[in-house]
Protein backbone atom coordinates (compact mmCIF):
# COMPACT_ATOMS: atom_id res chain seq x y z
CA UNK A 1 0.00 0.00 0.00
CA UNK A 2 0.93 3.64 -0.43
CA UNK A 3 0.76 6.26 2.32
CA UNK A 4 -0.02 9.81 1.18
CA UNK A 5 0.19 13.11 3.07
CA UNK A 6 -1.44 16.46 2.26
CA UNK A 7 -0.57 19.70 4.09
CA UNK A 8 -0.44 22.35 1.36
CA UNK A 9 -2.71 24.82 3.15
CA UNK A 10 -4.98 24.41 6.16
CA UNK A 11 -6.08 20.76 5.99
CA UNK A 12 -4.04 18.01 7.65
CA UNK A 13 -4.76 14.76 5.84
CA UNK A 14 -3.37 11.24 5.50
CA UNK A 15 -4.58 8.41 3.28
CA UNK A 16 -3.72 4.83 2.49
CA UNK A 17 -4.24 3.52 -1.04
CA UNK A 18 -3.93 -0.04 -2.36
CA UNK A 19 -1.50 0.21 -5.28
CA UNK A 20 -2.85 -2.65 -7.38
CA UNK A 21 -6.56 -1.79 -7.17
CA UNK A 22 -6.34 1.99 -6.49
CA UNK A 23 -8.84 1.42 -3.69
CA UNK A 24 -8.83 3.88 -0.81
CA UNK A 25 -8.16 1.91 2.36
CA UNK A 26 -7.91 4.75 4.89
CA UNK A 27 -8.57 8.48 4.79
CA UNK A 28 -8.66 10.99 7.60
CA UNK A 29 -8.59 14.79 7.56
CA UNK A 30 -8.46 17.46 10.25
CA UNK A 31 -9.84 20.83 9.17
CA UNK A 32 -8.51 24.10 10.57
CA UNK A 33 -11.51 26.21 9.51
CA UNK A 34 -12.53 27.18 13.04
CA UNK A 35 -9.02 28.39 13.88
CA UNK A 36 -8.83 30.66 10.82
CA UNK A 37 -12.45 31.81 10.73
CA UNK A 38 -11.91 34.66 13.17
CA UNK A 39 -9.33 36.15 10.79
CA UNK A 40 -11.44 35.74 7.67
CA UNK A 41 -8.75 33.66 5.94
CA UNK A 42 -5.82 31.33 6.45
CA UNK A 43 -3.01 32.58 8.71
CA UNK A 44 0.11 30.66 7.55
CA UNK A 45 1.85 30.56 10.93
CA UNK A 46 -1.25 29.17 12.63
CA UNK A 47 -1.71 26.63 9.84
CA UNK A 48 1.86 25.42 10.28
CA UNK A 49 1.52 25.00 14.04
CA UNK A 50 -1.73 23.11 13.69
CA UNK A 51 -0.16 20.74 11.16
CA UNK A 52 2.52 19.84 13.71
CA UNK A 53 -0.31 18.73 15.98
CA UNK A 54 -2.75 17.28 13.46
CA UNK A 55 -0.49 15.16 11.25
CA UNK A 56 0.96 13.05 14.12
CA UNK A 57 -2.57 12.58 15.52
CA UNK A 58 -3.77 11.12 12.23
CA UNK A 59 -0.65 8.98 11.89
CA UNK A 60 -1.36 7.53 15.35
CA UNK A 61 -4.92 6.67 14.26
CA UNK A 62 -3.57 4.99 11.12
CA UNK A 63 -0.99 3.00 13.07
CA UNK A 64 -3.72 1.87 15.46
CA UNK A 65 -5.66 0.43 12.53
CA UNK A 66 -2.66 -1.09 10.70
CA UNK A 67 -0.70 -2.32 13.68
CA UNK A 68 2.57 -1.59 11.86
CA UNK A 69 3.78 -0.09 8.60
CA UNK A 70 5.32 -3.20 7.05
CA UNK A 71 2.84 -3.20 4.15
CA UNK A 72 3.81 0.30 3.03
CA UNK A 73 5.70 0.43 -0.26
CA UNK A 74 6.08 4.23 -0.64
CA UNK A 75 5.19 7.59 0.89
CA UNK A 76 3.63 10.26 -1.33
CA UNK A 77 3.71 13.92 -0.34
CA UNK A 78 2.40 17.20 -1.76
CA UNK A 79 5.44 19.40 -2.41
CA UNK A 80 3.99 22.23 -4.54
CA UNK A 81 2.21 24.58 -4.84
CA UNK A 82 1.01 25.76 -1.44
CA UNK A 83 2.01 27.62 1.71
CA UNK A 84 5.69 26.91 2.29
CA UNK A 85 5.29 26.77 6.08
CA UNK A 86 2.48 24.22 5.68
CA UNK A 87 4.13 22.14 2.98
CA UNK A 88 7.28 21.73 5.07
CA UNK A 89 5.36 20.07 7.93
CA UNK A 90 4.04 17.31 5.68
CA UNK A 91 7.37 16.95 3.90
CA UNK A 92 9.29 16.44 7.15
CA UNK A 93 6.90 13.68 8.19
CA UNK A 94 7.11 12.06 4.75
CA UNK A 95 10.93 12.15 4.75
CA UNK A 96 11.10 10.67 8.24
CA UNK A 97 8.76 7.82 7.31
CA UNK A 98 10.51 7.11 4.01
CA UNK A 99 13.95 7.04 5.60
CA UNK A 100 13.01 5.07 8.72
CA UNK A 101 10.97 2.49 6.76
CA UNK A 102 13.48 2.45 3.87
CA UNK A 103 10.81 2.99 1.25
CA UNK A 104 10.69 5.46 -1.69
CA UNK A 105 9.41 9.03 -1.45
CA UNK A 106 7.05 10.27 -4.19
CA UNK A 107 6.62 14.03 -4.74
CA UNK A 108 3.24 15.15 -6.09
CA UNK A 109 2.12 18.45 -7.59
CA UNK A 110 -1.00 19.55 -5.74
CA UNK A 111 -2.81 20.62 -8.93
CA UNK A 112 -2.22 17.23 -10.54
CA UNK A 113 -3.58 15.72 -7.34
CA UNK A 114 -6.88 17.56 -7.87
CA UNK A 115 -7.16 16.01 -11.32
CA UNK A 116 -6.79 12.54 -9.81
CA UNK A 117 -9.55 13.28 -7.28
CA UNK A 118 -11.81 12.24 -10.16
CA UNK A 119 -10.36 8.72 -10.11
CA UNK A 120 -10.12 7.77 -6.43
CA UNK A 121 -11.05 4.07 -6.17
CA UNK A 122 -10.60 3.69 -9.96
CA UNK A 123 -7.67 1.98 -11.67
CA UNK A 124 -7.92 3.87 -14.96
CA UNK A 125 -7.83 7.64 -15.45
CA UNK A 126 -9.30 9.24 -18.58
CA UNK A 127 -6.98 10.99 -21.05
CA UNK A 128 -7.18 13.37 -22.76
CA UNK A 129 -9.50 15.54 -20.69
CA UNK A 130 -10.19 19.25 -20.31
CA UNK A 131 -10.21 20.34 -16.68
CA UNK A 132 -11.52 23.41 -14.88
CA UNK A 133 -9.70 23.72 -11.56
CA UNK A 134 -11.31 26.13 -9.09
CA UNK A 135 -9.99 26.35 -5.55
CA UNK A 136 -8.96 28.79 -2.84
CA UNK A 137 -5.57 29.25 -4.45
CA UNK A 138 -6.04 28.55 -8.15
CA UNK A 139 -8.37 29.06 -11.09
CA UNK A 140 -7.20 27.31 -14.24
CA UNK A 141 -8.27 25.57 -17.40
CA UNK A 142 -5.95 22.63 -18.05
CA UNK A 143 -5.67 19.87 -20.58
CA UNK A 144 -4.73 16.52 -19.06
CA UNK A 145 -3.20 15.02 -22.19
CA UNK A 146 -1.53 12.01 -20.60
CA UNK A 147 0.04 10.88 -17.34
CA UNK A 148 3.17 12.73 -18.45
CA UNK A 149 1.68 15.96 -19.77
CA UNK A 150 -0.67 18.54 -18.29
CA UNK A 151 -1.04 21.80 -20.17
CA UNK A 152 -2.30 25.00 -18.51
CA UNK A 153 -4.47 26.82 -21.05
CA UNK A 154 -5.61 29.78 -18.92
CA UNK A 155 -5.27 30.90 -15.32
CA UNK A 156 -6.14 33.74 -12.99
CA UNK A 157 -4.19 36.98 -13.23
CA UNK A 158 -4.88 37.81 -9.57
CA UNK A 159 -7.35 36.32 -7.08
CA UNK A 160 -8.70 32.82 -7.50
CA UNK A 161 -12.39 31.92 -7.70
CA UNK A 162 -12.39 30.47 -4.19
CA UNK A 163 -10.31 33.27 -2.71
CA UNK A 164 -12.75 35.89 -4.02
CA UNK A 165 -15.59 34.11 -2.19
CA UNK A 166 -13.53 34.17 1.01
CA UNK A 167 -12.87 37.90 0.66
CA UNK A 168 -16.49 38.80 -0.05
CA UNK A 169 -17.56 36.74 2.97
CA UNK A 170 -15.00 38.67 5.03
CA UNK A 171 -16.43 42.00 3.81
CA UNK A 172 -19.83 40.85 5.05
CA UNK A 173 -18.48 39.39 8.34
CA UNK A 174 -19.91 36.01 7.42
CA UNK A 175 -16.96 33.84 8.45
CA UNK A 176 -14.57 31.42 6.75
CA UNK A 177 -14.44 29.54 4.44
CA UNK A 178 -16.51 31.88 2.31
CA UNK A 179 -17.57 29.51 -0.49
CA UNK A 180 -20.30 27.51 1.23
CA UNK A 181 -21.45 30.56 3.22
CA UNK A 182 -21.87 32.75 0.14
CA UNK A 183 -23.65 29.91 -1.66
CA UNK A 184 -25.99 29.39 1.30
CA UNK A 185 -26.89 33.09 1.53
CA UNK A 186 -27.43 33.32 -2.23
CA UNK A 187 -29.85 30.40 -2.08
CA UNK A 188 -32.00 32.29 0.47
CA UNK A 189 -32.87 34.95 -2.06
CA UNK A 190 -36.25 34.61 -3.73
CA UNK A 191 -35.99 33.67 -7.44
CA UNK A 192 -38.14 36.71 -8.25
CA UNK A 193 -35.81 39.15 -6.49
CA UNK A 194 -33.90 41.36 -8.88
CA UNK A 195 -30.19 41.13 -8.15
CA UNK A 196 -27.54 43.73 -8.90
CA UNK A 197 -25.64 43.51 -12.16
CA UNK A 198 -21.90 43.42 -11.51
CA UNK A 199 -19.25 43.80 -14.26
CA UNK A 200 -18.08 40.74 -16.18
CA UNK A 201 -14.25 40.57 -15.99
CA UNK A 202 -12.17 40.08 -19.15
CA UNK A 203 -15.28 39.81 -21.29
CA UNK A 204 -13.33 39.96 -24.55
CA UNK A 205 -10.02 38.56 -23.30
CA UNK A 206 -8.72 35.17 -22.22
CA UNK A 207 -7.89 34.32 -18.61
CA UNK A 208 -9.46 34.88 -15.23
CA UNK A 209 -9.50 37.91 -12.94
CA UNK A 210 -11.55 38.44 -9.80
CA UNK A 211 -9.95 41.56 -8.26
CA UNK A 212 -12.21 43.97 -10.16
CA UNK A 213 -15.30 41.95 -9.34
CA UNK A 214 -14.27 41.88 -5.70
CA UNK A 215 -13.95 45.67 -5.70
CA UNK A 216 -17.33 46.09 -7.42
CA UNK A 217 -18.86 43.94 -4.70
CA UNK A 218 -17.24 46.11 -2.04
CA UNK A 219 -18.80 49.20 -3.63
CA UNK A 220 -22.17 47.45 -3.68
CA UNK A 221 -21.85 46.66 0.02
CA UNK A 222 -20.99 50.28 0.76
CA UNK A 223 -23.99 51.51 -1.23
CA UNK A 224 -26.32 49.30 0.82
CA UNK A 225 -24.62 49.94 4.15
CA UNK A 226 -25.75 52.36 6.83
CA UNK A 227 -22.07 53.07 7.62
CA UNK A 228 -22.89 52.97 11.31
CA UNK A 229 -19.47 53.23 13.07
CA UNK A 230 -20.70 50.90 15.80
CA UNK A 231 -21.09 48.18 13.18
CA UNK A 232 -17.54 48.35 11.90
CA UNK A 233 -15.22 45.56 13.01
CA UNK A 234 -11.92 47.35 13.68
CA UNK A 235 -9.88 44.18 13.20
CA UNK A 236 -11.36 43.11 9.86
CA UNK A 237 -12.10 46.63 8.60
CA UNK A 238 -15.52 45.64 7.27
CA UNK A 239 -19.01 46.99 7.78
CA UNK A 240 -21.47 44.41 9.10
CA UNK A 241 -24.51 46.67 9.28
CA UNK A 242 -26.35 45.02 6.38
CA UNK A 243 -29.51 43.13 7.24
CA UNK A 244 -29.88 39.48 6.27
CA UNK A 245 -31.88 40.32 3.14
CA UNK A 246 -29.20 42.69 1.85
CA UNK A 247 -26.47 40.16 2.61
CA UNK A 248 -28.33 37.57 0.58
CA UNK A 249 -28.69 40.10 -2.24
CA UNK A 250 -24.95 40.85 -2.25
CA UNK A 251 -24.05 37.16 -2.14
CA UNK A 252 -26.40 36.28 -4.99
CA UNK A 253 -25.18 39.20 -7.11
CA UNK A 254 -21.53 38.34 -6.55
CA UNK A 255 -21.95 34.60 -7.07
CA UNK A 256 -23.86 35.09 -10.32
CA UNK A 257 -21.16 37.41 -11.70
CA UNK A 258 -18.30 35.13 -10.60
CA UNK A 259 -19.89 32.08 -12.21
CA UNK A 260 -20.76 34.07 -15.34
CA UNK A 261 -17.06 34.97 -15.62
CA UNK A 262 -16.05 31.31 -15.31
CA UNK A 263 -18.71 30.30 -17.82
CA UNK A 264 -17.65 32.97 -20.31
CA UNK A 265 -14.02 31.84 -20.24
CA UNK A 266 -14.88 28.14 -20.45
CA UNK A 267 -17.18 28.81 -23.39
CA UNK A 268 -14.42 30.68 -25.24
CA UNK A 269 -12.05 27.79 -24.58
CA UNK A 270 -14.53 25.20 -25.83
CA UNK A 271 -15.20 27.17 -28.99
CA UNK A 272 -11.49 27.49 -29.68
CA UNK A 273 -10.37 24.01 -28.63
CA UNK A 274 -13.42 22.00 -29.66
CA UNK A 275 -11.57 20.53 -32.65
CA UNK A 276 -8.89 18.95 -30.47
CA UNK A 277 -11.03 15.86 -30.12
CA UNK A 278 -11.25 16.10 -26.32
CA UNK A 279 -14.74 14.90 -25.46
CA UNK A 280 -14.41 14.81 -21.67
CA UNK A 281 -14.58 17.81 -19.34
CA UNK A 282 -14.15 17.91 -15.57
CA UNK A 283 -14.47 20.37 -12.68
CA UNK A 284 -12.11 19.82 -9.74
CA UNK A 285 -10.88 21.73 -6.69
CA UNK A 286 -12.46 22.86 -3.44
CA UNK A 287 -14.73 25.44 -5.09
CA UNK A 288 -16.04 22.87 -7.57
CA UNK A 289 -18.60 21.81 -4.96
CA UNK A 290 -20.63 24.97 -5.74
CA UNK A 291 -23.96 23.68 -7.07
CA UNK A 292 -24.64 26.72 -9.28
CA UNK A 293 -21.21 26.43 -10.90
CA UNK A 294 -21.74 22.73 -11.54
CA UNK A 295 -25.11 23.41 -13.13
CA UNK A 296 -23.66 26.10 -15.42
CA UNK A 297 -20.75 23.94 -16.58
CA UNK A 298 -23.13 21.03 -17.11
CA UNK A 299 -25.20 23.29 -19.38
CA UNK A 300 -22.10 24.15 -21.41
CA UNK A 301 -21.03 20.50 -21.66
CA UNK A 302 -24.48 19.53 -22.92
CA UNK A 303 -24.35 22.31 -25.49
CA UNK A 304 -20.93 21.21 -26.77
CA UNK A 305 -21.64 17.49 -26.56
CA UNK A 306 -19.07 16.76 -23.84
CA UNK A 307 -19.10 14.21 -21.03
CA UNK A 308 -18.94 15.99 -17.66
CA UNK A 309 -16.93 14.47 -14.81
CA UNK A 310 -17.24 15.60 -11.20
CA UNK A 311 -15.20 14.57 -8.18
CA UNK A 312 -17.17 13.26 -5.20
CA UNK A 313 -18.02 16.16 -2.88
CA UNK A 314 -15.94 14.68 -0.06
CA UNK A 315 -12.83 14.82 -2.28
CA UNK A 316 -13.29 18.27 -3.85
CA UNK A 317 -11.34 20.11 -1.16
CA UNK A 318 -7.67 19.36 -0.38
CA UNK A 319 -7.21 15.76 0.73
CA UNK A 320 -4.56 13.05 0.90
CA UNK A 321 -6.68 10.53 -1.00
CA UNK A 322 -6.18 12.42 -4.28
CA UNK A 323 -2.43 12.64 -3.59
CA UNK A 324 -2.29 8.89 -3.10
CA UNK A 325 -4.17 8.26 -6.33
CA UNK A 326 -1.87 10.65 -8.21
CA UNK A 327 1.15 8.77 -6.87
CA UNK A 328 0.21 5.42 -8.40
CA UNK A 329 1.48 6.27 -11.94
CA UNK A 330 4.69 7.59 -10.37
CA UNK A 331 5.13 4.33 -8.46
CA UNK A 332 4.50 2.30 -11.59
CA UNK A 333 7.13 4.26 -13.52
CA UNK A 334 9.61 4.25 -10.63
CA UNK A 335 9.71 8.05 -10.41
CA UNK A 336 10.92 8.73 -6.88
CA UNK A 337 12.27 11.78 -5.05
CA UNK A 338 15.45 12.08 -3.02
CA UNK A 339 14.49 11.59 0.63
CA UNK A 340 17.57 13.39 1.91
CA UNK A 341 17.55 16.35 -0.48
CA UNK A 342 16.85 19.74 1.07
CA UNK A 343 14.37 20.60 -1.69
CA UNK A 344 12.00 17.96 -3.04
CA UNK A 345 10.00 18.62 -6.20
CA UNK A 346 7.76 16.56 -8.48
CA UNK A 347 9.13 15.27 -11.78
CA UNK A 348 10.50 17.88 -14.17
CA UNK A 349 7.75 20.31 -15.15
CA UNK A 350 9.23 20.75 -18.63
CA UNK A 351 6.62 18.49 -20.18
CA UNK A 352 4.59 17.56 -17.10
CA UNK A 353 2.78 20.75 -16.11
CA UNK A 354 3.41 23.78 -18.27
CA UNK A 355 1.64 26.86 -19.61
CA UNK A 356 0.52 27.42 -23.18
Q: Identify whether the C-beta of residue 159 lies closer than 8 Å to the C-beta of residue 214.
A: yes
H/E stretch holding 273 reads helix 244-273
* Helix 291-304 × helix 178-188 angle, to 10°: 80
The Cα 72–Cα 208 span in angstroms is 41
- Output the pLDDT for position 351: 45
Q: State pTM to two decimals.
A: 0.91
- Output the pLDDT for position 232: 46
- Output the pLDDT for position 272: 82
- Output the pLDDT for position 228: 54
3-state secondary structure of 125: coil
Residues 6+ apart with CB under 8 A from 300: 263, 266, 267, 270, 306
- Map out the domains of the chain with their CATH numbers: 2-120+314-347 (3.30.420.40), 133-144+148-310 (3.30.420.40)
The Cα 169–Cα 49 span in angstroms is 25
- Output the pLDDT for position 344: 82
The pLDDT tens digits along the chain (356 residues) read 999 999 999 999 999 999 999 999 999 999 999 999 888 889 999 999 999 999 999 999 999 999 989 999 999 999 999 999 999 999 999 999 999 999 999 999 999 999 999 999 999 999 999 999 999 889 999 999 999 999 999 999 999 999 999 999 999 999 999 999 999 999 998 888 899 999 999 998 999 999 999 999 999 999 998 655 445 444 445 555 799 999 999 999 999 999 999 999 999 999 986 557 799 999 999 999 999 999 999 999 999 999 999 999 999 999 999 999 999 999 999 999 988 877 787 764 444 566 55
The Cα 37–Cα 296 span in angstroms is 29
- Output the pLDDT for position 239: 52
Backbone angles phi, psi at 37, to 5 degrees: -60, -40
Amino acid sequence: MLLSIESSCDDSSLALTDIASAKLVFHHKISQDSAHSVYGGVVPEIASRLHTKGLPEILAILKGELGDFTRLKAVAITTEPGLSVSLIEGLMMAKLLALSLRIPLIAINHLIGHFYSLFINQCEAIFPMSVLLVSGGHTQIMQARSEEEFLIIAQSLDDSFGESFDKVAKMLSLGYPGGPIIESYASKLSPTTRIHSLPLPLKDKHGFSFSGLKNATRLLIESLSSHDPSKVDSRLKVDSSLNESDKALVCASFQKAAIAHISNQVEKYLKHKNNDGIRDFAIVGGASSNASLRAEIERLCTRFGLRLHLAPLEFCADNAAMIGRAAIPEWQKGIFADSIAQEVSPRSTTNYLHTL
